[in-house]
Structure 1
């Protein structure tokens, strides 16, 4: 695809985007050398190296606020700053974009920008089931989105050239650390295709994480910090503020209602894909995030969960247990991480298989969680504000039914038992602010 047009004298929209990105990198390099945030160990042991799969793999200073400015000619510009790429200024909001593994897709859906999605690093991991519970909210089907990583774990530059997006709404460093991208190719994408704009803060960044283009570790970001930044870049400040006005009071209310520690049920967060064939034990994750701003397990942090396996991890983020080990710690509740994804994955219900393993085993069937049928679907870690609202509500009901009401199983919760206003959320997403 040719990127040259020698007959065009006026700068193109792409030129504006490239210029903004180039200035951003230089400005951020000058101001980021004091950042000390870093991550040396993954939160999930199955993703402890850069070869981890996306379905298993992953506090700094707060970042500068995003702004929208007016030029002297009364033409709007769209400007926002986000580490590691720094400030980006556009003359027009992006009309097409590519995302990563689901997080920014959910953020941009909240801002009414879902129809601009044309590709993702791996669309399979953008969980879309919760949108079915929001009237009028539609998103592109996952099979309509181009996957720009390969089965050989490389980044497909040709796919990105063909898509020709206005924005790569993703941190380049996961592609550099996991998907075979090199820094020259990252620069090529920035220069010839579209500017990068993203920050990977799902979990603590593992050893071997890259820090392009800043050369040093860069701050983590919480879910509420992304919203005004993407909102400014897309000219959706009012919608972004409306999302925050719904989201933040909900989280504050949930936190305020968590029962006292002595009244909380203990939980185990079990890998939802690892053991459907009963191969070599159960992989149990520490549900508590080591880095405060990470969002992969945010609902469990906000719910201040009591981990049945606390003290069992020996400095790691997960531990493998046999049936006897599970019974030794005997959690009141078992939640299958990624359960909403793996209840229907490549034609199989991996969660039901694991439930049956526990129920049919002479030791597993003695577990308190099994005897009381407290075996639940967990959420996807790739959660922006919409998904996190649903998943926080889901986990609150699973863990503390006396306070938040019982969890009826996956599906629409009756209106009088809902913990946040679906109608208001749908209105915001649909532009009825």
Structure 2
């Protein structure tokens, strides 16, 4: 690893950051399964039951997907920029962060939903942030992910000297990502925190593997729902009223969508396949378990909320995914196939990897025997890096793909280069109302 500058004399915005390691008293049960360090869009990994969360001093955790958020300060109140999130504890700022480094797109979506997209200057994995849904919201914009500097190298090493030059105000990321994924030591993570910017994030996309580090407290810590993230980032950026309005809209829209899901006996069986991995590339398909075993993860949340009937149930052997060839796919023969990460892989390193997978399946003599292929029930799936905006669109998208009689038909083609526009009369949630909240007009 490159030598790390240790000159604190040049601090600017850093000087107003007061970092406290005040943690809630709750801890989580032991994790089961392998390391999460290789859990990129092209891999299938392990999930485990959820831990129990203990409330932190400045936020009220939710039992499910709802949370009571802080009220907007009155004109006579002093504006505060303070929030608490495990594992880092309580963070108190004198002003809202102006320059933010996010993770792989989840935190970017949360900040975009809170009207803070213009603070994003760099990312651990900008290629994973899918921004195509923002075009559907009037007046909402976000930076092009390609315009964001990448703070890790292609071989997953932290660009430490570059981070000193970048001089961000906040790492909107779980610091244990830097330890577990990128190989930093606790001492190196502490140097980033103390000399550059504090961390504020919590890895709750999926189950944290056995090798997951637990810095700085040294003990396992709770998972958070999307609304719990929204409330905490809303507090930290001084927009608690907007966070509250966003959570109210988000939970209401999800309740409406969940209410439309038909009885289980009327739902099709579904195979959730990785959009890029197929026999031509790796000799087999990667099949995902659409259920994580607990509610406080967001990576495959839309599949839980839409009550997916899994064609491969019982085939995972305790893992979050499995590998099958065409024969294995034919044995399960799902009514519908959804290509997870499909929105990401339509343009991946200049190649439409989703199209390649779909066309290979349609061209294969074995693939042509699949019910889903014969009935043209192949669909683009969502990204796992989904905050409130992306999750709402992806849940509606999946509802239309699986239950057209209840949601209206999904008009898009699986291998299309662009997501379709949904006619206003067929939209399940109010785009304008969401846009008004994001832009501060609601």
- Do both proteins adopt the same fold according to a TM-score greater than 0.5, normalized to the shorter chain? yes
The 1:350/1:318 distance shift into structure 2, 3 A limit, reads same
- Asked if 1:289 corresponds to 2:289, the answer is no
The 1:271/1:54 distance shift into structure 2, 3 A limit, reads closer
Structure 1 residue 51, shift from structure 2 partner: 4.0
User: Residues 93 and 234 of structure 1 are in contact (CA less than 8 Å); yes or no, is this contact kept in structure 2?
Assistant: yes
Match of 1:420 among 403, 408, 429: 429
User: Residues 100 and 122 of structure 2 are in contact (CA less than 8 Å); yes or no, is this contact kept in structure 1?
Assistant: yes
Residues 115-174 of structure 1, C-alpha deviations (whole Å, 9 max, x = no match) = 010101011111111111111111112222110111121111112111111111100111
Match of 1:135 among 131, 135, 138: 138
Match of 1:229 among 220, 229, 232: 232
- SS across alignment from 1:256: helix
Q: Distance in 1 between matches of 2:303 and 2:40?
A: 23
The 1:155/1:13 distance shift into structure 2, 3 A limit, reads closer
User: Residues 259 and 403 of structure 1 are in contact (CA less than 8 Å); yes or no, is this contact kept in structure 2?
Assistant: yes
Q: Distance in 2 between matches of 1:69 and 1:311?
A: 47
Structure 1 residue 68, shift from structure 2 partner: 8.7
Partner in structure 2 of residue 355 of structure 1: 358
Partner in structure 2 of residue 345 of structure 1: 348
Match of 1:4 among 3, 9, 30: 9
For structure 1, the 5+ residue unaligned runs are 43-47
- SS across alignment from 2:280: coil
Match of 1:92 among 78, 95, 108: 95
Partner in structure 1 of residue 31 of structure 2: 39
- SS across alignment from 1:319: strand
- SS across alignment from 1:153: coil
Partner in structure 2 of residue 108 of structure 1: 111
Q: Distance in 1 between matches of 2:55 and 2:333?
A: 42
Q: Distance in 1 between matches of 2:270 and 2:41?
A: 24
The 1:323/1:57 distance shift into structure 2, 3 A limit, reads closer
Q: Distance in 2 between matches of 1:102 and 1:418?
A: 25
Structure 1 residue 39, shift from structure 2 partner: 3.2
- SS across alignment from 2:271: strand
Match of 1:119 among 117, 122, 129: 122
Structure 1 residue 352, shift from structure 2 partner: 1.5
Which structure: greater helix fraction?
Answer: 1
Q: Distance in 2 between matches of 1:74 and 1:251?
A: 33
Tell me whether 401-410 or 270-279 shows the greater mean CA deviation: 270-279
User: Residues 201 and 220 of structure 1 are in contact (CA less than 8 Å); yes or no, is this contact kept in structure 2?
Assistant: yes
- Asked if 1:16 corresponds to 2:29, the answer is no
Partner in structure 2 of residue 50 of structure 1: 37
Match of 1:431 among 413, 437, 440: 440
- Asked if 1:214 corresponds to 2:217, the answer is yes
Tell me whether 114-123 or 268-277 shows the greater mean CA deviation: 268-277
Partner in structure 2 of residue 277 of structure 1: 280
Partner in structure 1 of residue 399 of structure 2: 396
User: Residues 121 and 147 of structure 1 are in contact (CA less than 8 Å); yes or no, is this contact kept in structure 2?
Assistant: yes
The 1:54/1:310 distance shift into structure 2, 3 A limit, reads closer
Structure 1 residue 279, shift from structure 2 partner: 3.8
- Asked if 1:240 corresponds to 2:239, the answer is no
Give me the TM-score of the superposition, normalised by structure 1. 0.91
The 1:431/1:57 distance shift into structure 2, 3 A limit, reads farther
Structure 1 residue 294, shift from structure 2 partner: 0.3
Residues 87-117 of structure 1, C-alpha deviations (whole Å, 9 max, x = no match) = 1111111111110000000000000000010
Residues 26-83 of structure 1, C-alpha deviations (whole Å, 9 max, x = no match) = x22xx43x412453326xxxxx55244465478331543446999xx96432111000
Structure 1 residue 263, shift from structure 2 partner: 0.4
Q: Distance in 2 between matches of 1:140 and 1:227?
A: 20
Match of 1:146 among 122, 146, 149: 149
Partner in structure 2 of residue 61 of structure 1: 53
Q: Distance in 1 between matches of 2:217 and 2:223?
A: 14
User: Residues 276 and 351 of structure 1 are in contact (CA less than 8 Å); yes or no, is this contact kept in structure 2?
Assistant: no
